[in-house]
Amino acid sequence: MNLLVRWGTTLTLVGSTLLTTVFSGNLPVIALTEQQIKEKLDPVPVFLITNNQGVPLTRTVPNNAANAQNAQNKQATVTDVFMSGQEAQAFINELRNVKGKDPKMADMLKSLQVTPVPLGMIYQKLQENAKKPNNLVFAFNPGKQDLEGAVTLLRQSGKEVKQFPSVPVFIVRSPDKGYVSVKRKTDNKEVIPLFLSQKDAQNLLSQVKQQVPKADIQVVDIEGVIKTLKEKNDTWLSQVAIVPSTESMQYVVSKRGGGASQNPPAKKK
């Protein structure tokens, strides 16, 4: 994306609304539809661990659901969703090292692979299953570096935080002018980029600081962003573009070009 020297004049209040959405029922709702939100999430690849038929690996955990209907089930079925393909592959390797000695587990572990899917698909499944008593739970696993970076940025801003609760989102802003807009190369459309990678946000910040020395990076979480898209009645939300990390896009390309390299055959003894 090309840097565009333009700031949204209506964006100066966005910092508070993304973190804590304040919605008045008396206002007319111009929120995005579920389909529009899905379309914003679809370009973002996330990574599941599946077998070679595409069936996701699941695990069971104690059910702590507050919903009384769900609470009748003592266990919940969880599917892990990784924001980093490399970390998903590392998880597979760890499973093989720890549990691969069990003959019954070995064959199943050999079939595991990292499968990219659109984040919009995960969002759609969550909406479809939200009211089902035995709904599948998705556990998001943010990239470790981005989690650490989010905590560091929040501490630098004076907030006391031990760990980040969700998937961090990084937004370049000017404290007195709002969020920066850029022009997307693919269609020349002006968008407000919400980065899923601190490194990518830092690259944009480096350009912005040449003109606005006080510019910085604000950290919010993906759940707050989606909540704002669903409930806030601001027209500028249509400009929001959630930007996948460069690392995740490179991983998807590498899988397409030579997926076999991600799961090399076992060496002969």
**pLDDT one-digit tens code per residue, 26-71:** 334 457 889 999 999 999 999 999 988 888 988 887 776 544 444 5
Is 216 among the domain residues? Answer: yes
pLDDT attached to residue 115: 94
Q: Tell me, yes or no, whether 82 lies in a domain.
A: yes
pLDDT at residue number 235: 78
pLDDT at 102: 73
Q: Which domain, by its residues, includes 126?
A: 34-63+74-255
Which segments within the chain are labelled E, that is strand?
Answer: 2-7, 45-50, 58-62, 75-82, 113-118, 137-141, 168-174, 178-183, 190-195, 216-221, 240-243
pLDDT at 15: 29
Q: Identify whether the C-beta of residue 183 lies closer than 8 Å to the C-beta of residue 5.
A: no
13 located within any domain? no
Query: Is 265 part of any domain?
Result: no
Residue ranges of the chain whose pLDDT lies below 70: 1-30, 64-74, 100-101, 133-135, 258-269
User: Residue 24: inside a domain, yes or no?
Assistant: no
The answer to whether residue 10 is domain-embedded is no
Residue 103 lies in a domain: yes
Structural domains of the chain, count: 1
Cβ-contact 138, 122 below 8 angstroms: yes
Q: Which two tokens stand for residue 192?
A: 């407000």
C-alpha distances out from residue 40 to 110, 120, 124, 143, 170, Å: 35, 7, 12, 20, 16
pTM of this structure:
0.79
Residue 4 located in a structural domain: no
Instruction: Output the domain CATH number for residue 46.
Output: 3.40.1350.100
